[in-house]
Amino acid sequence: MDIPILYQSSDFIAINKPAGVLVHVSEHQKGEPCSVVSWLLKHFPRVTNVGDDRIHRPGIVHRLDKETSGVLLVPLTQDYFSYLKKLFQDQQIKKTYETIVAGKLEGSGRIDAPIGLVAGTTRRSTHGTKMIKSAVTEYKSERVFEKNGEWFSLLQVHPLTGRTHQIRVHMASIHHPVIGDKLYGGKTNAVRASRHMLHCTSIAFRTPLGELVHIDAALPEDFKKMLPGA
């Protein structure tokens, strides 16, 4: 498995996670052949000494869903793990995503809706009744386009909090699900793309010395093929 490295220092690396690759393997995913963690252990074995759960998630300070592609930060030391973890907790890391959603969505907006688990399932919802946490997502429409007789919108999205499936849940809650999303978009939406079209295009933060780090990841080919003219 080839995972591109976007940035590398003695403290951390930033990778461009491909769609279809798990960040780490959980109990019910043991049959998965590869993950970001297995790649890290091969190429950066010192991550075995980094993290809160060094057995299952060495080096992992944040994650992307299996089908989500894009920038992922990986600390290479425990000190930098603690530093990045605090930045994420304090919302001092700016994450930018590109996504394609169903329907016409113009202008910009802010979705401020707590997310919780739906009782008896692993699904999240703005109407969930368990483990409810605040969640805020901002979006800006970049393009509305028609393809194969249907309308879609290309959005730039900024999650201000870091809840599981946050962007996918929030976009579905305003009736513009991420296309290809099998869990939150419904059967018709699920077949519009080979995977949910969500890509982390950039991450920006300041180092302990105050230097600004801005890391970008270009849109993958499968995403670009969904846009007009492809």
Say which of 53, 65, 79, 181 is annotated catalytic: 65
65 is catalytic: yes
Which spans in the chain are helix H? 36-43, 78-89, 166-173, 186-190, 221-224
Phi-psi group of 54: left, alpha or beta (phi > 0 → left; psi -120 to 50 → alpha; rest → beta): alpha
Q: How many CB atoms lie within 10 A of CB 161?
A: 15
Residue 49 structure tokens: 């000494």
Phi-psi group of 187: left, alpha or beta (phi > 0 → left; psi -120 to 50 → alpha; rest → beta): alpha
Decide: residue 50, CB within 10 A, 0-12 exposed, 13-18 middle, 19+ buried.
buried
- Strands 94-102 and 150-159 turn out to be antiparallel
* Residues noted as catalytic: 65
